[in-house]
Amino acid sequence: MSYDLYFLTRQPGQSWEDVMSQLEGDDSEDVPLDDEAVAAWDRVKAAVGPVLADASEFAVSTSRQLNDDATGIQISMVPGELSLTVPYWYTGPDAERIVGILHEVAAAIEQATGLTAYDPQAEAPFLGEGEYGAARTLDRIHTSVIHRHAASEPADRAPRSELPHGLWARLFGRGPR
């Protein structure tokens, strides 16, 4: 469960929904990245390096990933798809801060690739439109997860404003930093 951005090319007259549906039908997971994709990945990695300086890379013939433990941001490339995810554990000022980082990362990737960062949560490009609602979305989902967890807690336990670190790790594969 994460906040996702997809880096896409939209042709004149093509809707974002049409572009996204093309991604869903793509079964190229076992196809190696071609030289052009690897070169694009190298540009992405160089472009986001100043923002996500401590990100670690995972690379195999069929995919690439950058994982930044400090923010939870993950950038992934498989044939035909470049995407970014960030977990929903941010709320309030931290959500605003992470959206600022997302803005920097998305702008760097757009500049390096010529693709547009599309925000399916906002059904709009992230830069200029989607980013304005991103912090509210992160905050809303975080609050929803807190409330669902609270509903499963015994009645005699005090309500929490945060989830235990271990629960975030179970839900998202790692906890907030």
Other beta carbons within 10 Å of 138: 26
Per-residue pLDDT tens over the stretch 50-90: 999 999 999 999 999 999 999 999 999 999 999 999 987 77
Q: Does 177 fall in a domain?
A: no
Q: Does 109 fall in a domain?
A: yes
For residue 92, pLDDT beyond 50: yes
How high is the pLDDT of residue 50?
Answer: 97
For residue 160, pLDDT beyond 70: no
Here the tokens at position 23 are 């991604």
Domain housing 120: 2-172
How high is the pLDDT of residue 53?
Answer: 96
Q: Does 28 fall in a domain?
A: yes
pTM of the complete model: 0.76
Q: Are 113 and 44 in contact (CB under 8 A)?
A: yes
Those residues whose C-beta lies under 8 Å from the C-beta of residue 90, and which sit 6 or more positions away, are 97, 98, 135, 138, 139, 142, 176
For residue 44, pLDDT beyond 70: yes
Q: Are 5 and 84 in contact (CB under 8 A)?
A: yes
Beta bridge partners of residue 82, listed in sequence order? 7, 77
How high is the pLDDT of residue 56?
Answer: 97
How many domains, the chain? 1
Q: What torsion, rounded to 10 degrees, do the Cα atoms 21, 25, 31, 37 define?
A: -10
